[in-house]
Amino acid sequence: MSVNVHPRVDFAVIASLVKPGSRVLDVGCGDGELLELLQNTKDVDGRGVELSQKGVNESVARGLSVIQGDADSDLKYYPDGGFDYVILSQTLQATRNPKNVLTELLRIGEKAIVSFPNFGHWRVRTSLAINGRMPVTKDLPYSWYDTPNIHFCTINDFVDMTKEVGAVVESAVALNALGERLGFNMPWGFWNLFGQQAVFLLKR
Amino acid sequence: MEPGCREQLDFARTATIPTRDHALNCANMTKISRPTAKKAQQSQEATNPHSPVMDFDAGKPLHLDSGVSLSPFRIAYQSYGELNADKSNAILVCHALTGDQHVANVHPVTGKPGWWELLIGPGKPIDTDRYFVLCSNVLGGCLGSTGPASINPETGKAYALDLPIITIADMVRAQAMLIEHLGIKQLFAVIGGSMGGMQVLEWASSHSDKVFAAVAIATGARHSSQNIAFHEVGRQAVMADPDWKEGRYLEAGTVPRKGLSVARMAAHITYLSETALHNKFGRNLQDRQKLTFGFDADFQIESYLRHQGTTFVERFDPNSYLYMTRAMDYFDLAAEHGGRLADAFAGSKTRFCIVSFTSDWLFPTSESRMVAHALNAAGASVSFVEIESDRGHDSFLLDEPEMFSTITGFIRSAARAKGLLPS
């Protein structure tokens, strides 16, 4: 379900937000790369959910506890507060009901870590404003008709949604195209223009 | 669901089967069916098996779900590999409906290789150089464990239908007693497909602390109405055979050959898929150029099924078939826990691996998914893989590389967690 291309610059940021030894659920875990990283570097008790059968099979062959499932419909089977962290990396924009998914993440996890591509990035804005085309970039390589990304948002949009679901932003990081962190003290508007992707740590 | 299915799915072989020899000829229905040499050998296995046995005497009765205590009783089993010093490397294999304990050795009746030799053996995904692999004939079976063909000590004759009804939980209780007797406190893993998978789920539910890892393949937490229906057809076929003699065929010296064959033919269809049947047989004719306008086996699929039926009779006890099918029908893990499947696994520390196949319509993926969701709800560690295959329910017995890589990865990771492999 995770739809970004490699290398995944958000993984290091996500890993830096996870406390060692915690219980982690990775929703849309792909082939299990992040889960494996977290197990190896943070000694987490990790579980995963992945939509694509190929991703699930690869993850399980790696020895990870991963099940085939859909973020939109299968999170309801998890108990309240079952995990310390629930991670949704580069998957939010591919869900049918992002707001519902975010609510579920915060029900299942004490904290939620969400990373997503920022549709407010200047390249995206330029593509639309100057070329009049839906943007196709290195990190968002799909055409409008075949993209799994059906719910793009900007950093500002996402901040609004966290308020709507009553989540508290504990920390946030914006990354530029090279995967470098943008200045910490910059206002949301700056991040929204220059952040190519964002990682949020949320709590209930 | 069937030992030796790998061989039986070698469809090319069917082209040479002389159909008239195997035909379920209606005219023969009235003749008394006598045991063949092979059949006699199978009966011999029921009472005097080519396997080690564990006898539990009057001091160790088995308390059955039906409320009856069974005593004495016997469990026949096979083992492979060495049990390590702290007895922590044991893997229990649970066999399917018509399977047996001969999981990785030549079968004493059929002479065919073990039914899961693709999976189990030196250097295989379940590596007998590393693990102590144990497989016992289930209670109610017919290869040496107490079953309807065993001698009832009270009468000196075969139990036949006097044996109490056996459930999946009863089978597991008997296995647990065997494990305890061998001094194994916790099984490293329990693995099985179909009815074997039911036993795996039962083990993990009722003996959670004794199961470190559980692999349940092509199975479900209950038998569906459709599955019960197919089993009932099979049982009625056996019981309608005049040679069944109300279950007392051993004393009468008969074999309800036709009935058990028909039961097997119907069941065998459920182990395959329409695609597999169509690809292998289509509407091809058997040893003939045109239709005969009669009821002989004109089609290859007919010949194939008849062959399945007749060979099955040689190696299986008809009453045992009744007991095995009933055990599966009665299985409903959620019902045992107030209707909530998650409660069957509450607090479980067992690591689970659930595997299903896309073309399995006997235990479709939805049944496995239900188990996976229940395990999620119980907070258990679970992997769930659906494998693309057009070979139906029997896929779990066949060469399915993705299943092997799944099991290899899961077992390795569990072995690291248990300290059997360096992390």
How many Å lie between the alpha carbon of A47 and the closest alpha carbon of chain B? 7
List the single residue in A47, A59, A74 with the smallest CB-CB distance to B381.
A47
Pairs across A and B, CB distance < 8 A: 66
Kindly list the residues from chain B whose CB atom is less than 8 angstroms away from the CB atom of residue A82: 379
Mean of pLDDT over chain B: 92
Prediction ipTM score: 0.83
- ∠ CA B216-B221-B227, nearest 5°, is 105
Average pLDDT over residues B48-53: 95
| DSSP assignment of A82-121 | -EEEEEEES-GGGSS-HHHHHHHHHHHEEEEEEEEEBTTS
Average pLDDT over residues B263-287: 96
Asked whether the beta carbons of residue A63 and residue B413 sit closer than 8 angstroms, the reply is yes
Kindly list the residues from chain B whose CB atom is less than 8 angstroms away from the CB atom of residue A39: none
Kindly list the residues from chain B whose CB atom is less than 8 angstroms away from the CB atom of residue A25: none
**First CA to last CA distance, chain B:** 35
The whole-number pLDDT of residue B33 equals: 83
Cβ partners under 8 Å of residue B290, min gap 6: none
The whole-number pLDDT of residue A186 equals: 82
List the single residue in B369, B382, B402 with the smallest CB-CB distance to A65.
B382
Instruction: Please give the residue of chain B at the shortest CA–CA distance from A55.
Output: B385
Token pair in block for residue B186: 């916790």
Average pLDDT over residues B110-116: 96
- Chain A residues whose C-beta is within 8 A of a chain B C-beta are 45, 47, 53, 56-57, 59-69, 74, 77-79, 82
Asked whether the beta carbons of residue A68 and residue B386 sit closer than 8 angstroms, the reply is yes
Average pLDDT over residues B65-73: 97
Is the predicted pLDDT of residue B23 greater than 60, yes or no? no
Asked whether the beta carbons of residue B406 and residue A57 sit closer than 8 angstroms, the reply is yes
Catalytic residues of B: 194, 360, 393
Kindly list the residues from chain A whose CB atom is less than 8 angstroms away from the CB atom of residue B413: 62-64
The whole-number pLDDT of residue A7 equals: 63
Cα B193 to the chain's mean position, in Å?
Answer: 8
Nearest to B172 by CA among B200, B134, B140: B200
Average pLDDT over residues B94-110: 96
Q: How far is residue B72's CA from residue B58's CA, in Å, rounded to a whole number? A: 5
Asked whether the beta carbons of residue A60 and residue B372 sit closer than 8 angstroms, the reply is no
Span B127-177, pLDDT tens digits: 999 999 999 999 999 999 999 999 999 999 999 999 999 999 999 999 999
Percent of chain B predicted with pLDDT > 90? 88
Is the predicted pLDDT of residue B20 greater than 70, yes or no? no
Q: Report the topology of domain A10-118+150-203.
A: Rossmann fold (3.40.50)
- Domains along chain B? 35-236+317-418 (3.40.50.1820)
With a threshold of 0.80, does the pTM exceed it?
yes
CA B412, B417, B421, B423 dihedral sign is positive
How many Å lie between the alpha carbon of A80 and the closest alpha carbon of chain B? 9
Q: How far is residue B330's CA from residue A72's CA, in Å, rounded to a whole number? A: 34
Average pLDDT over residues B291-312: 96
Annotated binding-site residue? B394: yes
Span B197-214, pLDDT tens digits: 999 999 999 999 999 999
How many Å lie between the alpha carbon of A7 and the closest alpha carbon of chain B? 25
Is the predicted pLDDT of residue B28 greater than 70, yes or no? no
Angstrom distances, CA of residue B117 to CA of A11, B48, B103, B120? 41, 24, 7, 5
Q: Classify the phi-psi angles of A18: left when phi > 0, otherwise alpha if psi is within -120 to 50, otherwise beta.
A: beta
Kindly list the residues from chain A whose CB atom is less than 8 angstroms away from the CB atom of residue B378: 79
Span B323-381, pLDDT tens digits: 999 999 999 999 999 999 999 999 999 999 999 999 999 999 999 999 999 999 998 99
The whole-number pLDDT of residue A139 equals: 74
Span B133-147, pLDDT tens digits: 999 999 999 999 999
Is the predicted pLDDT of residue B21 greater than 70, yes or no? no
Domain boundaries, chain A: 10-118+150-203
Query: How would residue B18 be classed by pLDDT, with cut points 50, 70 and 90?
Result: very low
List the single residue in B377, B378, B406 with the smallest CB-CB distance to A60.
B406
Annotated binding-site residue? B264: yes
How many Å lie between the alpha carbon of B409 and the closest alpha carbon of chain A? 4
Cα B1 to the chain's mean position, in Å?
Answer: 5
Point out the residues of chain A with pLDDT beneath 70: 1-7
Nearest to B360 by CA among B244, B246, B247, B276: B276
Is the predicted pLDDT of residue B43 greater than 90, yes or no? no
Average pLDDT over residues B403-411: 94
Label the pairing between strands A45-50 and A65-68.
parallel
Q: How far is residue B6's CA from residue B115's CA, in Å, rounded to a whole number? A: 8
Angstrom distances, CA of residue A144 to CA of A89, A131, A141, B231, B304? 21, 15, 10, 51, 52
